[in-house]
Structure formats: structure tokens, C-alpha cells
Amino acid sequence: PSGVLVVPNLVRGLVPSAPDQIWVADITYVHLAKTFAYLAVILDAFSRKAVGWAFEDTLDASLAIAALEKAIAARKPAPGSLIHHSDRGVQYASIAYRQRLADRDITISMSRPGNPFDNAKAESFMKTLKAEQVNGRASTDLGDARRHINSFIAEVYNKERLHSALGYQSPLEFETAFAQNKAR
């Protein structure tokens, strides 16, 4: 049909062999005392490391773009080397978001309609975040919640949280070991 964005799932069955080959992205909501806020996260599919995230009180494309810009600034992926995978959310399908990917020669991939398993690594991160950080914590406002979430992602999830799929290493340990082995 005309006007429908057709983006294939390019990562199905792919297993990254190094960092910055596949990034997975997702957005979730966080309930605050009197409102909601939203978290956009980009993970490296190789190490499960959160490489970019943004937490705001808006759900528009600027939220996802802020996470993408942070990931690009932190990782500086080589043009043409990276696949960005997400669900089919309007933020990721927006012209502004797709243009930023195109400007950096990042290939876009999206889950099949109605198939959350296609983005399982990002979905799993969100489940972990909610279980270990968000649920049961009463954040009074956006700033309070942002401090707690930033700290959890940067200090706990990336540096300390062990993953069975990574040989019971944290994402940072896994990437560090990979870089050391590659340098030998």
C-alpha cells in the first residue's frame, strides 16, 4: 500500500561478532508520582551494553533522536558498518529519525509487525530496568527519576550486572575482554 513504510527485519538470525555491528532500540514508560515519563534506549546487540539513552516527559521522535545522538557520539560507528534495529514505533519510523540514520550511513531494520520477539534484547533490557530499578521506587519528578535511571544504566547495568549470555560478565567486562583478545 502506498504511504506505508516498508522496512525489513535485517537482523533475524544474525549474531554480531563484534561491537557496533547491530544496535537494538526500544522505548518504555516510567510511572512518576503524578505523570509518566519515557525512556528510549539503544543497546549494542553484541555486548548488551546500553550505548545511548534519553529520559524525558515526551514520547515524540525527539526522545528517540536524543538516545541515538548519544549512542553515535559515544561509539562513533564507521559509516556503513552498523544495522539499527527497532520495533515499528512511530518515533523510529519518523522522517527525522530515519534521516539521522541515513546521514550516518546506518542501515535501518525493524521488527515484523506485531512480533516483539524480533527485538528481544531491547525488550529484555526494559524488563530488567523495570524489575531492578523502576518498580517499587517512588520517583517524585522527572529529575529524580532521571538521576536514578541514569545511575542504574551507567553504573549498575553496564558495569556490574552479569549476563548468562555473556559468560556471566557485565557488558563492559565483555567488551573489554573482546578488545583485549582482539589486540593480541
Asked, for residue 136, whether it belongs to a domain, the answer is yes
Asked, for residue 76, whether it belongs to a domain, the answer is yes
**Closest Cα partner for 23 from 62, 89, 73, 81?**
81
Asked, for residue 2, whether it belongs to a domain, the answer is no
Label the pairing between strands 36-44 and 83-86: unpaired
Q: Please give the residue range of the domain that contains residue 88.
A: 22-117+129-183
pLDDT tens digits along 61-83:
999 999 999 999 999 999 999 99
Asked, for residue 71, whether it belongs to a domain, the answer is yes
What's the number of domains the chain is made of?
Answer: 1
Q: How much is the pTM?
A: 0.93
Asked, for residue 123, whether it belongs to a domain, the answer is no
pLDDT tens digits along 142-175:
999 999 999 999 999 999 999 999 999 999 999 9
Q: What pLDDT does residue 140 have? A: 79
Asked if pLDDT for residue 1 goes beyond 50, the answer is no
Asked, for residue 122, whether it belongs to a domain, the answer is no
Asked, for residue 51, whether it belongs to a domain, the answer is yes
Looking at residue 138, which CATH number applies to its domain? Answer: 3.30.420.10
The counts of H helices and E strands in the chain are: 6, 5
